[in-house]
Amino acid sequence: MNMILKLSLKDIVFINPLVKYLNIFFITPWYDFPTNQKYYPSLAKCYACLLMVVKILWVIYWLQDDALKSVYASLLCTEKIFLFAIYTNLSILTTVTIFKSAFWDVDKWRTLFTNLQYIDINLQNKGKKESKLMKNFYFWFVLKQVMFLCYSTYGIQVFGTMQRTSFFKTFLNSCLMDVYYEFLLISLINILIRSFKSRYKDLNQKLETACEQSKSVEELMNIANYYRILGDTVEIFNSLFGYQIILVIFDCCLETVSALNGAFLYTINGQGQFNIEMFLCNMSLLTVIPIHVWTSKEKISFLRGFWLSPAVDMFYEFQIIELMTSVVKSLESRYADLNENFLQCQDEKFESFVYYHRILGETVDLFNSLFGYQTLLITFHIGSQLVLHTVKTVLKTTMSTFSDITFMRTVWKFFNIFLITPFYNFNENTIHSKLCKLYATFLIALKLVWIVALFKNENLSEMVKQFLFTQKFTFVAGLATLSVLNLLSVIKSSFLDINTWKMLVKSFDAIDSKLQTGGKVETSICKNFCFGFITKQLIFMIFVTYQLYCWSSFLKISVLQSLWASPTCDLMYEFQIFTFLMSLLQSIKRRYVLLNEKVEAIKTSPKMRHELQKLAQVYRILGETIETWNKLFGYQILLITFQSGLNVVSCINFPLGVLDRGNFDIEIALCNGIFLLLTLGSLLQMVISMDSTVEEAKTFVDRCYKMQEQFTLNFRNSDELIKFISIAKHNVRTFSAGGFFDIRKNLIFSLIANVAMYFVISVQFNQNQKE
């Protein structure tokens, strides 16, 4: 115990006892520090599976427990939402942590600890001890454990007394184990961050000492190398804990709101007396401190690829086919022998041959009963694979990859139908502006006529009158936003920004010619643009058709009337705009990826500086392409973001105002849920794609900085590379929503916060209107 209390943050080996303890919960993989290897990998995976089974059984117990159901039924609507969200979020956090520690990121853990040990050896931190007890990590860790145990025991006793259940029953009905799991995860994240901070501090001190003593360039390069390794270690930390930190932050927000709500709603007991114990139990949840670190993209490991692939199932299918083939050949051989002997048989042996033939027939029936369904599934699987390979072959010959901008020529004509894109001649690089304006006038007039007809539609007016105030507001605001979005897209493609469209296409052509990506073919069907485009269109059309059918049945009107009295056409138009934007966005990201690959490839080239100048031109053009993209689609992105927020609020608010009037319809609820998932999925895809594209742009600058180490060693004068890096930093561009704000991942949390606020306001308005 005395040895543990003397361990210092400066030596990463100090974390070994904590890792051993966290192995019990599989927050960390089973790792051995002296050998830097994982031990008992198969047993570790079995133990992780056991923990997952226990977690699933616990969740099933929650769903079937009568006491928990009665407590849940007594809550208000908002409290039900908070409780369900907290339980679900904690369960997802536990599951993700176990899976990432057991199956996905084992090699990243080894790299993390190896890098820290390498830095400790070079900084001479190995074996350092901590003399002060108050600065020792394990002193505070044990103290926090004791405090958490005391709080948990006290909280279970208080809630058990109020619910009149036993201590053990209250423990089973609570999510205390998941909260403790989260507590341990936060402790681990906190100590790793403190370890990074301590090493950055030592590096800064070492650099300051080296500058004062005028150390050699080699010594300064060693410090820069340590700094780079530490930066890579932070990136590994992001990939290990990024998603867990998001879930922890979300859980902290939920628990904070729930604790404040519970402190004022559930601190009064049945006799109307203030319960100080319940007040303390609720308010103590506010002591959780979130830590915000985002994840970075990492390549998939071999082990993870194996677990995610159907290799085991395919091997199993192969063995079934081999067994069936051997049995069929045996039956065929016996039928052949029987037929051969039948021709030479005598009359007295005829009955024996009939008997043998009947036995063989019964054997065939047994074979069919044993392998009939397997044969059907294998036939379906082989047929589907043949179809997929045929489609893949067709797509390889018809559509190319995102690396070649010519893939857009076919779908460009499709988007011309909606005038999302102007009528552009790629061969002559000209736009048929007069035809665009004439067709745009027709579409605008058609849209205005539809708006007038929509206001005069009696069925829609009767339906809107039955809405609550909040539903009327979201419905009208959604219609107005969709109409403005569609009209703006038509106007910008026909009357405005004609030269900007030309600049966009010219930029892609210039980049492709410099990167020499013309004529490339995509070999993977899943990455083929045409396959993804057709799949998305089919899925969306199936959903739209199903939605029209459900609403027409629910409102007892025809499908045509349902289409005319709903914003379905506008939603389809918005979907096409989103599809086009995402295709351009993926094209820009793909070119940044190719650019980074070329930077990595020219490190050993003797003409490195000359080739860097060519890549700098491509990087500048890509930055200008993003600026052009912002000019063309900035306001559309702003409207799509606003419309997504309205859709989420409307979908969450819809069940509270319509389906609780005794007119519940499961199909309508299903349509509402699917529409909510499509809205969130589309917005997340757009935001994450934009953010990852910007990160790829920054990766180019980071690799240039890393190249500076090699450049400095080979050439004493590195002014040219420094100027090049400064130019590259200047050309880093971000995606903007009409200049109002940049599109980054933090937009997701802002949207969640605003939706939660508007939803609470909607619930309050609905309750006041009902009263």
Q: Are residues 166 and 220 in the same domain?
A: yes
Single out the residue of 602, 604, 626 nearest to residue 614, CA to CA.
Answer: 602
Report the C-alpha gap between 537 and 700 in whole angstroms: 34
Q: Are residues 412 and 368 in the same domain?
A: no
CA 588, chain centre distance (Å): 20
Spans of the chain below 50 pLDDT: 1-8, 263-309, 393-400, 402, 716-717
Residue 420, pLDDT score: 84
Residue 389, pLDDT score: 53
Q: How far is CA 42 from CA 30, 39, 229, 306, 387, in A?
A: 11, 9, 31, 15, 38
**Torsion of Cα atoms, 708 then 712 then 713 then 717, to 10°:** 150
Q: Are residues 346 and 262 in the same domain?
A: no
Q: Are residues 655 and 533 in the same domain?
A: yes
Report the C-alpha gap between 297 and 287 in whole angstroms: 32
Long-range contacts for 11-18 (Cβ within 8 Å, ≥24 apart)? 11/120, 11/125, 11/126, 11/127, 11/128, 12/113, 12/116, 12/117, 12/120, 12/195, 13/117, 13/126, 14/137, 15/191, 15/192, 15/195, 17/138, 18/137, 18/138, 18/141, 18/187, 18/188, 18/191
Single out the residue of 610, 410, 585, 415 nearest to residue 508, CA to CA.
Answer: 585
Token digits of residue 147: 């405090």
Chosen domain end from 341, 370, 397:
397
Single out the residue of 68, 107, 108, 97 nearest to residue 84, CA to CA.
Answer: 68
Residue 716, pLDDT score: 47
Report the C-alpha gap between 697 and 691 in whole angstroms: 10
Contact between 501 and 431 under an 8 Å Cβ cutoff? The reply is yes
Structural domain span for residue 362: 312-397
For 617-635, write each residue's pLDDT tens digit.
Answer: 888 888 888 888 888 888 8
For 575-630, write each residue's pLDDT tens digit.
Answer: 888 888 888 888 888 888 888 888 777 766 666 667 777 777 888 888 888 888 88
Q: Are residues 726 and 659 in the same domain?
A: yes
Among positive and negative, which fits the CA dihedral 211, 214, 217, 223?
negative
Beta bridge partners of 268: 274
For tokens 């469209």, name the residue. Answer: 501
User: 3-class DSSP state for residue 685?
Assistant: helix
Alpha helices in 216-309 (DSSP H): 217-265, 276-283, 302-308
Backbone angles phi, psi at 213, to 5 degrees: -95, 5
Q: Are residues 411 and 456 in the same domain?
A: yes
Q: Are residues 114 and 83 in the same domain?
A: yes
Q: Are residues 53 and 186 in the same domain?
A: yes
For tokens 């209390």, name the residue. Answer: 5
Residue 117, pLDDT score: 78
Long-range contacts for 335-344 (Cβ within 8 Å, ≥24 apart)? 335/360
DSSP 73-128: HTS-HHHHHHHHHHHHHHHHHHHHHHHIIIIISHHHHHHHHHHHHHHHHHTT-TT-
Report the C-alpha gap between 744 and 733 in whole angstroms: 12
Report the C-alpha gap between 133 and 135 in whole angstroms: 5
Alpha helices in 456-516 (DSSP H): 458-465, 469-494, 498-515
Token digits of residue 133: 């007890």
Q: What amino acid occupies position 580? A: F
Residue 293, pLDDT score: 31
For tokens 């079934």, name the residue. Answer: 320
Single out the residue of 598, 630, 626, 628 nearest to residue 732, CA to CA.
Answer: 626
Chosen domain end from 348, 363, 397:
397
Residues 6+ apart with CB under 8 A from 52: 95, 98
Q: Are residues 573 and 688 in the same domain?
A: yes
First to last CA, the chain: 64
Report the C-alpha gap between 648 and 640 in whole angstroms: 12
Length of the chain as a residue count: 771
Among positive and negative, which fits the CA dihedral 278, 280, 285, 286?
positive
Q: Are residues 392 and 409 in the same domain?
A: no
Chosen domain end from 275, 305, 335:
305
Q: Are residues 329 and 366 in the same domain?
A: yes
Q: Are residues 413 and 561 in the same domain?
A: yes
DSSP 602-669: TTT-TTHHHHHHHHHHHHHHHHHHHHHHHHHHHHHHHHHHHHHHHHHHHHHHHHHHTTTSS---HHHH
Report the C-alpha gap between 501 and 551 in whole angstroms: 40
Residues 6+ apart with CB under 8 A from 400: 406, 407, 519, 520, 521, 522, 529
Residue 171, pLDDT score: 75
Number of domains in the chain: 3
Contact between 28 and 47 under an 8 Å Cβ cutoff? The reply is no
Residues 6+ apart with CB under 8 A from 719: none
**Torsion of Cα atoms, 116 then 119 then 124 then 125, to 10°:** -20
